[in-house]
Each structure stands twice: as structure tokens, then as C-alpha cells.
Structure 1
Amino acid sequence: MAKADYGNLCIEYARALQEDLGGLLGSNVRLKGPKLEVVDAADVAADGGTLAHTSVAAKDDSGHTFHFVVPADDALAMAALLMGLDGDALEEKRKAGLDDETLDAFGQVMETATAILTRIHESMALPAMARAETRAVAPESDADWLPSGSYKRASWTLALEGDAEARFDLLVPGASMEAWFATSLEAEDASGEASAGAAPMPTAAEGATLVVIDPDPDDREAAEDLEEALGRPVWAVDPEQLTAASFEEFADAAAIVLAWQ
């Protein structure tokens, strides 16, 4: 099996997640990120607080399993949109924590997240994935909730209704990175910066820059946040600032994307 491009998977996943979750939740969902880093299972547990954890396993016999991890309050924020909760009802749910009703609703979010992952995997000739139970875990006391070892973590921030934001993490085990993706686990260190052994980022002169022309400042910021995952510079431009000289500067770009969302 040819190895897939992990950066492209993250980009395609973010685009589909933004669109499909918006449709499911009946809300305008915007994503920032991903931030990519290498973490150990113990590091994830050390973040503290209750988490909503969903494991998704490959449908073949490889035994590879990914993990979606979302802080409890953020899982509740998404579940509340699906359940139509606000005001006093939402406050009561916060007091109850991740009860069965909330986990069932958030499980629908995770079902959508898993379906997107499978769709993108299949486009990259990777195995389809199946969702296991979504459950609440307390990392400090639930010692076996996440298998030990190193993971590549992709973290997105979801902007929901109003000023609400939710963190959404995908953890890919090191063994899966080595087996399925051309990018090694150690391609980036925990700070999200290129490690000493990683290949240098291509320069614009090498034709690697991606130019994004979009009038929305939030979209331009989101595009520039994708540099790590793409492994190339991203130049986001307001169309009102374009001049004839601008297009001469774009001549060596790898691609030009117009109004990318």
C-alpha cells in the first residue's frame, strides 16, 4: 500500500469537518488549525479535566486505532447545539456533566467525524474506519483509557455560535504514522516546529507557495494556519489589495486558490 500524505489528510479533513458539522449542528462552524505536535499518552492525561473520548478502528485486520479527544465542556457545547439547548437547560446540563443523553448527542457528532475520516481515507486508498463507543473519561483516574506510546496530535479550534469555541483533537498512534503516512511521527516536535532532522520548508522560489485570495480576514487567517500541515508557505491576500504587480509575484506559486471556503 502506497503511503498517504498526512498533511493533505489534515487539510481535507478540516474542510469537510467544517461543512458537515455545520450541517449537522445547524450552525456556522469555522475551524482554525490544525496545530500538529508529537505527544505521549501521559502528556494527554496531564492536560487534566474530564474528556469525551472516541476510538475509531480500522475495518481491516491491521489493528490500527485513532482517537478523537474533546474536553468535556466543548463536547457539551456541540451536543447542546444538536439538542437545541440554551439558557437554563444548558446550565443544568453543565451541572450534570457528560451524562448519557449528552454523550448520545455528542456521539452523533463523532459519527459524522468518523464518516468524514473514512471518506478521506478511501480517497487515499487507506482503510475505512469504524467508531467505537463515545464515553467520558477522567485521565487522572482512568489509567487505561488511552494506550501508552507516542501520538501525532492534530488540534483544531472550532468557532461555534456566538463566541463559543471548542477544541477538537485527533490522535494518530506512531505505528499508524509509520505504516500509513509518508510523514514520520518525528517530522515535527512538540512545539509544532520543524525538527532538526526534518526537511526544510520549500521556498517560494521553488514554486511551493500556496496563494489564497479571499476577502474574509478570518478565512485568510485560517489559511495561513495551515502552513504546518501543508509543509509549504501559505500567502493569504485580500483581493482589494491586489495589483498587476501582485500577479507577477504569484508567478512561481504552486497554486492560487480563490475564496477557498
Structure 2
Amino acid sequence: MTSTDTCVDLNADLGEGFGRWHLTDDEGLLSVVTSANVACGFHAGDPATMRRVCDLAAERGVRIGAQVSYRDLAGFGRRAMDVPPGELAAEVAYQIGALEVFARAAGARVAYVKPHGALYNRVVHDEEQAGAVVAGVLLAGASLPVLGLPGSRFLDAAGKAGLPVVTEAFADRAYTDGGTLVPRGRDGAVIADPGTVVERSVGLARSGVVTSHSGREIAVRARSLCLHGDTPGAVDLARRVRARLEESGVRVEAFA
């Protein structure tokens, strides 16, 4: 391994189940990642699932993050919605508070907040909705770090409100030339080839560069890399990504 000061966090979306339905291999992913974005019941997740994931994360020293969403269980939080700012702030605070109960019961705490799906994409450019999410974090009663896309209105609003901001990148998602994510409905929006995902991870961590959907190299400086838990073979891919990062001299550790 070469000597380097490069350090990156690996986060994954976990607890994405409901009742008897389970989408993510939480136990497997928690053996690889350093931060867990736990579904808080609005796009997925239920009390028993949230408790189980918090227990496992605390046991393994993985940071617990609240993955807040629009109230959209049927659409997995990926449908565009218009929620009044005051209502959205209250719903964000509600989700954080619910997860905090289980995190504390596990001997840990909620260490950061990350929006999910349609809400994540909306707050990249929508100043009002971004402000509402930030207001919800503040309403929850703590100056929690927030995780989001570099250059987004969300991180800008969070920084102005005094919240720590953490930039993130996606090795398995296509980027536009402007540094935003290609919408999931478009061809090629999700990178399916594991080898490509692994090498993109190294490029993002070491040089902060990724090739856009049109073939251009764009700068994406990020402290955390997201590995989607609902990807087929997600655990094996996560292990390959972490191994390749460490082989490349990148330290893998939580940001929070």
C-alpha cells in the first residue's frame, strides 16, 4: 500500500424493509461500510427494522445516519412530491427523532442526516425545500452533520445555518456535465458493471474526478462514497470497492 493522506467514508442505505419485506442485506453491508443511512419509516423501514439495524451498527462501530424522505412508502421515496416547507420540516424532525430513540437504546446516537431519493434530488436545486430539510434538522434539536451533493442548495443552506456539511459521491450513478446525477428514468443512469464501479470509486477518492454521461471528466470532491444497498450483489460489490480503495492507499473511515 502506498503512503497517502487520502481518506474516505463508505456509506450505504440500510434498513430498507417493511414488515416481512426486506430489500437490503443489512448485516452483510454493516461488515463493510463505515456509515449507515438508516431508513426512518417514510420511504422504507419500520420500528423493528430500525431497532435491529441500530443494534447491529452500534455493535460494529458503524456510524448511524438518519435517511429522511418524503412520506412515500408506495413509491419508495422516489416520486416527486410537493410538501409545504413547514410540514416537511416537521416530518424531517419526526424521522430523526424516531431513529434517535433506537440509536440511543443501542448505546449510540444519530450522527448525521442524509435525504433520500426524490427529496435528495429536489434539494440539490430547490432552495425552499432545502431550507425546510435544514429547518427539520435544527428542529430535531442537534447540530448534526448533513450529507449531500457538492454544490447543492441543501449543503449551502446547511452551512449558512451552522450545520457541518459533508460532500458525497456515487460511483454507481451517472453524472451530468454539471455534476448532478442523471435521473434514474434515463438509460445509463445506474452503472451496472461492477468493475467500472470499483474503478470509479478509486478515481473519486484519490483524484476527485469522474467521467460524466457525455464522456467529460468532471470534478466531484467528496468525503463520502455511497454504495446502494438495493443493488444486486451489493455486499460483494461493497467488499470489492473497499478492498480496491485500501489497495490504492485510501484510508476508509467514517466522517462523523
Q: TM-score, normalised by structure 1?
A: 0.25
Q: Which has the higher strand share?
A: 1
Q: Kindly name which structure, 1 or 2, has the bigger radius of gyration based on alpha carbons.
A: 1
Q: TM-score, normalised by structure 2?
A: 0.26
Highest RCO, 1 vs 2 (Cα 8 Å, sep ≥ 6): 1
